[in-house]
Structure 1
Amino acid sequence: MNKSSIRAFGVALFLVGALLSVADRFDLNIGLPTVASTNDKDVEELQKQLEQATKEIASLKAQTTKETVTENTKEENATDATAVSEHAESSTPDSDDEVTMTLQIYSGITPYIVAQKLEDGGIITNSVEMELLLANAKYARSLQIGSYEVNSSMTLEEIAKLITGKKQ
């Protein structure tokens, strides 16, 4: 074999490889066997399983709701006499309801993540309000790295001042 035929063979191999690569990239069928037919069967089976699971979840939710309603009515009937006196006592705010957590602020943390952590910890009820407050020009880019003890009795403004190091 001479040099030009070896070169031509190499070019042909390169072109075949490029053609296969392009066909694979654009999902072109160039006569190679495919396994798409078994995938369709798998998809149908998985859809049936999903529908069955959804029906089971719905029935469990309905069953749980019925049990909860039944338990609540039993409890209400048993405690009707004492409910009035307990209600009068519980009208004063309880300090036991206060939730406390340690908030970790690290480098690169965003106001969104801080607000989510506070909401997940039960400190605040609406993470969007806190996120907007921390994105405010007054606090923007001022989060200070560290650990902070926060509790549910603090206002959003107090928490923001604490974790940004702004003066009270």
Structure 2
Amino acid sequence: MNKSAIRAFGIALFLVGASLALAARFDLNIGLPTKASSHTENVEKLQKKLEQANKEIALLKGQVKQAPKETTQKTDATETKAKDNHESVDAPAADVATMTLQIYNGIAPYSVAKKLEDGGIIENSVEMELLLANPKYSRSLQIGSYEINSSMSLEEIAKLITGKKQ
């Protein structure tokens, strides 16, 4: 056999192999014996999981809608007690969330803001992320643990975790 015939045979083998790989990748049935595809079974399982997740979400949304009513009732009761005692209530202490924020080397402002939002300290993580991206605070996050509560302003939190003067 000459070189060109061997080269042509090698190219043909490569093309057949590539075709088979593509057919397997895109799950094409080109007449080769394969195991039965369990694609429909997987779809059914995923649909059941999706339905279950949607039910759980609906249940949690219902609980969240009920929670503000309970909080309002508790606040009304607190205000009534304060009026009875001739005291004024500005903000109930029960509404202040507290957390320990861990800042480690290389943490991004996005991650810090997300942790604060997840901990119930701030309402909107984007505002905090934008504040920390400000040239005044950027690249100034200090490694350590910080006790933070929801009564602190965004500016106070930023100054605390960046080590800037109050």
Aligned CA RMSD, in angstroms, stands at 4.2
Tell me the residue number matched to 2:80. 85
- Give 1 or 2 for the bigger CA radius of gyration: 1
TM-score of the aligned structures, taking structure 2 as reference length = 0.63
Does 1:156 find its partner at 2:154?
A: yes
Q: Are the aligned partners of 2:79 and 2:89 in contact in 1 as well (CA < 8 Å)?
A: no
| Candidates 105, 115, 118, aligned match of 1:117 | 115
Tell me the residue number matched to 1:128. 126
Whole-Å separation in 1 of the counterparts to 2:134 and 2:32: 59
User: Match of 2:139, SS?
Assistant: coil
1:50 positional shift: 5.8
User: Match of 1:167, SS?
Assistant: coil
Whole-Å separation in 1 of the counterparts to 2:160 and 2:58: 47
Whole-Å separation in 1 of the counterparts to 2:147 and 2:79: 37
1:156 positional shift: 0.7
Whole-Å separation in 1 of the counterparts to 2:134 and 2:13: 61
1:91 positional shift: 2.5
Tell me the residue number matched to 2:145. 147
1:41 positional shift: 5.6
Q: Which has the higher helix share?
A: 1
Tell me the residue number matched to 1:33. 33
User: Match of 1:119, SS?
Assistant: helix
Distance change in 2, residues 1:86/1:104 (3 Å): same
Stretches of structure 2 lacking an aligned partner (at least 5 in a row): none
TM-score of the aligned structures, taking structure 1 as reference length = 0.63
